[in-house]
Structure 1
Amino acid sequence: MTTLYRLRFLSTSFGFNHAHKCISAGQRLNIVLQSCFAPERATSSYSKDVNHWNAVKGHLNLKSFSTVTLNRLCWNCGSSAALFFCSSCNAIQPADDTTNYFDILNSEQTFSLDTQKLQKRYLELQRSLHPDNFGQKSLKEQEYSEEQSALVNKAYRTLQKPLSRAVYMLELQGVLLEEGTDATADPAFLLEVMEINESLAETRSQDEVHAIGRSVREKLKGLIEQMNSSLNKGDLLTAKGLLAQMKYFTNIEEKVKDRITQAS
């Protein structure tokens, strides 16, 4: 059993299909740093204004929070339009999927963001943008509502978890993620991961499964702290290596959750 597991582990890799998708088996992570990239990838091209919204019959509105103002005009009245609603006629605006996810959720662009504040902002937006609020509106407004709601969901899913948040932040800095062989992985680290996977696969003890889970969470906690430090310093090469390790341990953490769920 052990020999077969080792062979299977050595012939299998883990990676990303896309920065915003779930981690899956059968892939490797290969991060390619681009020597030159457009400055606009790492900087915002829009400003933030404070808009005060009043309740409008038919749907809820947000009150007193910063929203991103784009250089565009409202499709309905021609006034300057904010990210979600027109400040003049309050018509919902079409979604702009090039907008920075941190700006969408009014969050500081930092790895150590406040996830509770992020969730609060997400819920406020969804209460205002949800398609159910636009059932009596025009087809165009219903379509825009669906687009905006989907974009907010995507932004929240990406920034909510440390792993996908790190991937996204590296992308903003011009680091592209491509599938490929992780030839630079530390052999000692790969051996450690293999042994943890092996123990998890072979154990029949739920106490041991929980113990493995606690150990992996502690390792992830340390990696997250290091990732925050590396991103704050702009050390993308170190962040690249940390991301690979986070990916492996996150994969194990998901396996532990599956084992616990199956046993309950």
Structure 2
Amino acid sequence: MFPVSCLRIRCFHRAVVNPPRLMKNRLPDPNAGTGHSSVSTCCHRKDTCHSNINFRGLGKERGLFHYNNKIFSPRSCSTSEVKPSCWKCKQLLVKTPSFFCSSCQTIQPPEEKTSYFNIMDCDYTFTVDTQKLQTRYLQLQRSLHPDNFSQKSVKELEYSESQSALVNKAYETLLKPLSRGLYMLELQGMHLEEGTDAEADPDFLLELMEINEALDEAQTPEEASKIGHDTKGKLADLTVQIDAALHKEELHAARALLTKMKYYANIEDKVKEKLSEFM
């Protein structure tokens, strides 16, 4: 025979670990009755029986409880990601991104939110290997170009056009340091705002004005070429500084340096225009 006090403790422990209202308010299976079975959930009961559980929230938030001072809910149970499958044969796509199905070799639609670095098979770095980038670009376009799908279905032709355009955009963005750096900032949620002249260093703006005036007054190709050579050197120095800032995750410093790079890149374009006038 157990004492009455022991029975009360055991009953209280069972009631707390499995309170009736938690059982009643269990979330419904989002896949029930839909025929989808690719998502699986896994909740470990041993977590719900841990001795450090704090039940302060049970009376206020239905279906929620505190575990080691952190909110835990049925929605935070681990879920396996839904892997994309081929639109034609329904086989799972192994690679990411998948341009073609490995089973039926059918072209696939572009995958949303895939970074340009993944598309071009590049390391996420500011110092991209441009030769490797060009090789990858040519390989993709040889297989994805719409001319290869003129005899295919309308859907396949549309997918080839979308994939080819996406590869073009990824290649052009990662090819040049300025657009590459701006894209890396965008991936981190930062953008280079328009009208940054007011925030720029006055000495830097004065330097830009003098360079532009000298370029306008250039009378020979040699004078314009010298300005272009000096500009290339400054762009090279900025490339090293931006790479270091991004490597250290100093995003604000990288943005300021990219602003300078944008102005020098404009001067470089003006030098090319000036040289074309002497031809």
Superposition pairs for residues 195-210 of structure 1, below 5 Å?
195-210=210-225
Counterpart for residue 78 of structure 1: 90
Instruction: Quote the residue 2:180 is aligned against.
Output: 165
CA deviation after TM superposition for structure 1 residue 72, in Å? 1.1
Please tell me the root mean square deviation across aligned C-alpha atoms, in Å. 1.2
Where in structure 1 are there 5+ consecutive unaligned residues? 1-69
Do the aligned residues in 2 keep the contact of 1:77 with 1:89 (CA within 8 Å)? yes
Calculate the TM-score normalised by the size of structure 2: 0.68
* Separation of aligned partners in 2, 1:73 and 1:182: 49
**Equivalent pair of 2:144/2:164 in contact (CA under 8 Å):** yes
TM alignment of 1:240-255, pairs within 5 A: 240-255=255-270
Off by >2 Å, runs of 4+ in structure 1: 176-183
More strand by share: 1
Using CA pairs below 8 Å that are at least 6 residues apart, which structure has the higher relative contact order?
1
Scaled by the length of structure 1, what TM-score is found? 0.72
Q: Name the larger-Rg structure.
A: 2
- Identity value in percent: 57
Q: Which amino acid aligns with 2:84?
A: R
For the residue of structure 2 that corresponds to 1:260, the secondary structure is helix
Correspondence list, 1:1-264, <5 A: 71-81=83-93, 82=95, 83-264=98-279
Q: Following the alignment from structure 1 to structure 2, what is the Cα–Cα distance between the partners of residues 134 and 199?
A: 52
Q: Note the C-alpha offset of 1:95.
A: 1.4
**Ranges in structure 2 where 5+ consecutive residues have no aligned partner:** 1-81
SS of 1:72's partner is coil
Mapped contact 2:220–2:278 kept (Cα < 8 A): no
Which deviations, in whole Å up to 9, do the C-alpha atoms of 1:155-187 show, x marking residues without a partner?
A: 000000000000000111111233234322000
Shift in Å at residue 243 of structure 1?
0.5
